[in-house]
Structure 1
Amino acid sequence: MITLTRLNGKIFTLNALYIEQVEAFPDTTITLTNGKKIVVRESVKDVVELVTHFYRQISVIGLPREVEGSNSE
């Protein structure tokens, strides 16, 4: 789950596994797999970073190659 802020300032959590697309129109708009769209205050870059961190927490993606390689030396 990631924590985001709606344009009206209300904070909510979203299951990042349901995110299909993140765009700026210029407000950041998240499209979910069910077609629902959510507009948030966070930038596209911030949303991507939050999603990446969430995926790493649940082991959907690993560490970047340069980090993985430095641990084994």
Structure 2
Amino acid sequence: MIKVSRLNGKPFFLNAIYIENIESFPDTTITLTNGRKYVVKEDEASVLNMVNSFYQSVGLIGLQLRRDEYEEE
């Protein structure tokens, strides 16, 4: 789950597994796989970072090495 805020500042949680699309029109809109849309205060990059962190925490994706760390090995 990720914690985001409605435009009025009220926080709520979304299950990141069901996120299908994240867009800015200019407000950030998150579309779930069931078609529901949520407009949130956070910018697109912040939501994407939260989703990636969530995926890593549940083991859906591994930790990615930065390019300079990869080149050292």
Compute the TM-score of the two structures, normalised by the length of structure 1: 0.88
| Paired position in structure 1 for 2:34 | 34
Gapped regions of structure 2 (runs ≥ 5): none
- The runs of at least 4 consecutive aligned structure 1 residues that moved more than 6 Å come to none
Identity level (%): 54
- Unaligned 5+ segments in structure 1 are none
RMSD: 1.6
After TM superposition, list the pairs within 5 Å mapping 1:1-73 onto structure 2. 1-66=1-66
TM-score by length of 2: 0.88
More deviation, 57-66/15-24: 57-66
